[in-house]
């Protein structure tokens, strides 16, 4: 059985990535699939990230990148309002697709860029035990490292960190008083956040 952690809506289709194949559903009766190519270890080339922006589907595989000139092993992506794609790799590299390396997150060894978001006029990076903010000119960092990002319709940054929901305000992540149990995934829709946790999903209304 193949599990799925990756989904993107692209060209009016739902694209679902598993460890062995990519499936495309037209929201009707038709589902097509394409197996990943071989990796260099007698297995399938793992698909680790998906993002659809301006008619292009970007896909990060363990051994290569599809959709533009990008590095291998991209595990996180986001786009700014101008359609610039930022990609983070498992070995701590942050890239602009088509533009090259921005920086590397490492201490005594590289640390994964686990989550990316663009909100509040800045790029946000979860890596190396902290939340990093890049405003286009300078970097700032503060603990803790988020385990998930969401950006709402008003452009606000929401984050999961230390088992709690937070929202960016007053120059820091401010905790929101919502009871959660082991939250691990977050998404924003108009008027609400959807948060996945241990054996359940929460809907959190936001204004």
Report the 10 Å Cβ neighbour count for 186. Answer: 23
pLDDT digit string (tens) for the chain, length 207 residues: 333 458 888 998 889 888 788 899 988 889 898 888 776 665 678 889 999 999 999 999 999 999 999 999 999 999 999 999 999 999 999 999 999 999 999 988 899 999 999 999 999 999 999 999 999 999 999 999 999 999 999 999 999 999 999 999 988 899 999 999 999 999 999 999 999 987 889 999 998
Dihedral sign from CA coordinates of 118, 16, 59, 144: positive
Cα–Cα distances (Å) from 5 to 16, 19, 95, 170, in that order, read 8, 9, 22, 33
């Amino acid at each position: 059985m193949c599990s799925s952690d990756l989904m993107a809506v692209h060209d009016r289709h739902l694209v679902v990535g598993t460890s062995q194949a990519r499936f495309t559903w037209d929201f009707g009766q038709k589902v097509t699939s394409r197996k990943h190519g071989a990796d260099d270890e007698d297995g399938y080339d793992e698909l680790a990230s998906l993002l659809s922006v301006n008619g292009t589907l970007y896909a990060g595989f363990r051994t290569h990148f599809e959709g533009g000139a990008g590095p291998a092993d991209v595990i996180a992506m986001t786009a700014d309002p101008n359609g610039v794609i930022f990609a983070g790799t498992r070995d701590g590299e942050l890239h602009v697709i088509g533009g090259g390396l921005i920086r590397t997150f490492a201490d005594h060894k590289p640390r994964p860029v686990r989550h990316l978001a663009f909100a509040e006029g800045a790029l946000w990076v979860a890596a190396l035990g902290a939340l990093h903010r890049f405003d286009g000119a300078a970097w700032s960092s503060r603990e803790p490292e988020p385990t998930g990002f969401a950006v709402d319709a008003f452009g606000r940054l929401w984050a999961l960190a230390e088992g709690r929901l937070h929202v960016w305000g007053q120059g820091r992540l401010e905790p929101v008083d919502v009871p959660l149990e082991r939250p691990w995934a977050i998404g924003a829709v108009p008027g609400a956040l959807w948060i996945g946790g241990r054996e359940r999903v929460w809907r959190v209304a936001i204004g």
